[in-house]
Amino acid sequence: MKKEYCGLFAIYGHPEAARMTYFGLYALQHRGQESAGIVTWDGTRIREQRGMGLVADVFSERHLGKELKGQVAIGHIRYSTTGASLLRNCQPFLVRFGDYHLAIAHNGNLVNTMARLRTQMARGRTGLSLVRTGCNAVAVGFGLLAWFGTAATGWTVFNLFLSAVGMFLIGDGLLWYVPADRARRATTLCTADFELAIPDYTATEATWGRARAGLDADHAA
């Protein structure tokens, strides 16, 4: 028998966008029965309502008639294939960054998320190593230059070359480190020192295993 997972519905430019989205999700209820959510936008403000259960249980006339105002709406019903059946996993996800707001709903799994994060974290650690090596090379180069001076041409050329190599390593390391550090700060799966938390969705977050960057989940300690 064919199985269908999750349902999406969105509408633009309707004075009762939330109500129309509600009807759309209701018609798609066979695609997911765990949770439901609707996010609306009235041009200035984003409003949301999400909850566990069926569409008719999550939304009331108060939500559809008063609270979820706006002519733009996106809705989602969930049938979990990855992740626990919890309120925090209900969609649409609402992301707030300063004055910017973004509502996201998807149907599917990001199957390579951890692999990409491990690769990114490994690049970050490599970049940090390059930066440290470059700083040491620059320090040694300028230190020797200050000690021997510029009287000996051979030493001067060598020290300047060593310093130049060090600055190149610093620049190259930053190109690796900065994007990885941004990724680390942007995801809750990353902890200090470029570690990754390997999610075990059958357990609480406090008991999630950890793996060093570059290691597979099988090596989680």
pLDDT band at 11 (very low <50, low <70, confident <90, very high): very high
pLDDT digits (tens, 9 = 90+) for 116-175: 777 777 777 788 888 888 888 888 888 888 877 777 777 788 888 888 888 898 888 888
pLDDT digits (tens, 9 = 90+) for 71-126: 999 999 988 776 677 787 888 888 777 777 788 888 776 666 667 777 777 777 78
**Given 6, 90, 135, 190, the catalytic residue:** 6
Q: Are residues 76 and 163 in the same domain?
A: no
Q: What 8-state DSSP symbol labels residue 98?
A: T
Residue 80: the pLDDT is 77
Compute the distance between CA of residue 49 and CA of residue 57 in angstroms, rounded to an integer.
Answer: 12
pLDDT at 203 over 50: no
Q: What 8-state DSSP symbol labels residue 166?
A: H
Q: Residue 158 is encoded by which pair of tokens?
A: 């060598």
> Strand pairing partners for 73?
11, 40
Q: Are residues 149 and 199 in the same domain?
A: yes
Residue 195: the pLDDT is 53
Residue 213: the pLDDT is 38
Residue 178: the pLDDT is 83
Question: Of 71, 104, 137, which closes a domain?
Answer: 104
Average pLDDT over residues 13-17: 91
pLDDT digits (tens, 9 = 90+) for 42-63: 888 889 999 898 999 999 998 9
Q: Are residues 123 and 26 in the same domain?
A: no
Q: Is 90 a catalytic residue?
A: no
Q: Are residues 45 and 122 in the same domain?
A: no
Residue 55: the pLDDT is 92
pLDDT band at 182 (very low <50, low <70, confident <90, very high): confident
pTM: 0.50
Angle between helices 113-148 and 153-186 (to 10 degrees): 150
Compute the distance between CA of residue 71 and CA of residue 138 in angstroms, rounded to an integer.
Answer: 59
pLDDT at 1 over 60: no
Q: Are residues 129 and 95 in the same domain?
A: no
pLDDT at 194 over 80: no
3-state DSSP assignment of residue 9: strand
Compute the distance between CA of residue 88 and CA of residue 55 in angstroms, rounded to an integer.
Answer: 17
Q: Residue 167 is encoded by which pair of tokens?
A: 């600055």
Query: Considering the domain boundaries, does residue 2 fall inside one?
Result: no
Q: Are residues 85 and 118 in the same domain?
A: no
Residue 86: the pLDDT is 78
Query: Considering the domain boundaries, does residue 211 fall inside one?
Result: yes
Burial of 76 (0-12, 13-18, 19+ CB in 10 A): buried
Task: Read off φ and ψ for residue 128, nearest 5 degrees.
Answer: -65, -35
Q: Residue 8 is encoded by which pair of tokens?
A: 């999406």
Burial 199-211 (b: 16+ CB within 10 A, else e): beeeeeeeebeeb
- Longest C-alpha distance within the chain, in Å? 87
pLDDT at 186 over 80: no
Domain containing 131 equals 113-219
> DSSP string of 113-146?
HHHHHHHHHHHHHHHHHHHHHHHHHHHHHHHHHH
Is 123 or 13 the better-scoring residue by pLDDT? 13
Among the listed residues 139, 123, 136, the one whose alpha carbon sits nearest the alpha carbon of residue 172: 123
Burial of 215 (0-12, 13-18, 19+ CB in 10 A): middle
Question: Of 104, 127, 155, which closes a domain?
Answer: 104
Compute the distance between CA of residue 20 and CA of residue 145 in angstroms, rounded to an integer.
Answer: 74
Residue 169, amino acid = L
Q: Residue 40 is encoded by which pair of tokens?
A: 């609306």
